Amino acid sequence: MRKNKNFIMLMYAIGYLGISVFTQTTVKWYQYFYTPPEANIAGLQVLIPVGLIGFTMVAARIIDGVSDPIVAYYSDKTKSKMGRRLPFVLYGSAPLTLCFILLWFPPVNHESIANFIYLTVILSLFFIFFTIVVAPYLALINEISKTNSERIRLTMMQGLTQIAGVMIAEAGSGALINLYGFKIMSIILGIIALASIILTPLFVKEELSEEEDLPTISLFESISCTLNNRNFVYYLISYITVWFGINTLTITMPYITEVLLGATPESSGLMISGAFIAALLFMPFLPKITLKLGKKKVLMGTSIFFALILFLTGFFGVFFPYHIAFIIVVLAGIPLSVIFVIPNAMIADIAELDGIMHCQRREGMFFGAQGLVIKIVIGLSSFVTPLLFRVFGYSAERPMGIRLGGPIAAVCIIVGLFFLNKYSLSETDLEKMGKTHEVSM
């Protein structure tokens, strides 16, 4: 794996483009597709009662939640000629793509409980296969990167491809919907995503683990050990709140642009794409900044900035017209660039230290636990947002439900920072321990 490492890192990182396309497109459009606002330019009809749309995501996440620790556990323990992680990525990619496409083919073209059942089932399958692919994929970070600088460089490359995927999902999905509709959009983006993910098992050769490094504890013991890791818990609580903010913003952006700012819902994709262009411009500075200040300080500072931006979205259309709102959303690219790079490197650090201390490599379980929590948060934001819409309104006459999403998410992020402040893992100490561990072996 060390031969031609830059090429291997690139092929691995490109896989995150497809992962990003799948998640961002689904989160951005599924609610709008099934419960569009009454006056929508695309002429869409409501397919599911607005009071039930949030339950589809929550139900799917609950069902999917069972798969996260199971996939993570068996990924840690798997022994094959391809390694521990690559078989999951290879064989899970095609079913994941199929489920993504099926999301946009409801059985009934009007409001119906049949659509509610259909969406719940397909969303559940989509997230199950997403876990099968993504948790082992992320666990490869520890296999590919062996030092702090390598880890930051690899996750920065991941961040770049993730942003590229988000830009495709944000701007590309809207353009494809305008030209061809949701169904053709899903097929085109599904093929692009599959092609990028499959590069990882085709070009990355995983180092086979030594027998003594494989976990010997049971599934429930592995879960317990993971959740008893204090640094992991402190990090995770903060990460939960940040992703609640990201998904709240993602879900509400089409409504913000159409209802609050009087623009087309597709223009939300242009605003988000502007943010990710800003993220691309800022991201090359991240390795040097992070190596100097440390991952924790960088993440805390940018999370505060992101909370401020989310708070300001509640005043779009009142104090901030479209052009000012556009600038504010673009500035979100700075914290987003950090959020896309630093967390995966922090999880890899936590998993590495845990492996050194307990002599059992359980990277999959740490990334799987993070994935489970993020899915719960996505489900929660998908439940809270329509609840706000239903209680406070999401029309031009009653827009308060749209306005409240950002400020609520901002408060959650500030609360999460109190926990992140307790995170105590030092990258320098970790590298010293890693070298000592290698010598002792």
Helices (H), 260-362: 267-282, 286-293, 295-313, 322-331, 333-358
Report which of 361, 101, 336, 348 is spatially closest to residue 209, judged by C-alpha positions: 361
The DSSP symbol for 315 reads T
Secondary structure (3-state) at 81: coil
Q: What angle do CA 64, 343, 294 make, to 5 degrees?
A: 165
Domains of the chain in start order, with CATH, are 5-201+219-435 (1.20.1250.20)
> What's the CA gap between 298 and 281, in Å, rounded?
17
> What's the CA gap between 329 and 347, in Å, rounded?
28
- pLDDT at residue 44 in the model: 81
> What's the CA gap between 288 and 284, in Å, rounded?
8
Report which of 171, 141, 195 is spatially closest to residue 253, judged by C-alpha positions: 171
Average pLDDT over residues 308-333: 92
Least confident among 71-75, 137-141, 147-151, 161-165: 147-151
> What's the CA gap between 341 and 339, in Å, rounded?
6
Look at residue 213 and tell me whether its pLDDT is greater than 70: no
Look at residue 1 and tell me whether its pLDDT is greater than 80: no
- Higher-confidence residue of 209 and 122: namely 122
- The 10s digit of each residue's pLDDT in 392-425 is 988 888 889 989 989 999 999 999 999 999 998 8
> What's the CA gap between 438 and 435, in Å, rounded?
5
| 8 A C-beta contact, residue 114 and residue 107 | yes
Look at residue 12 and tell me whether its pLDDT is greater than 50: yes
- The 10s digit of each residue's pLDDT in 17-69 is 999 999 889 988 898 899 887 766 667 888 998 888 878 887 887 777 788 88
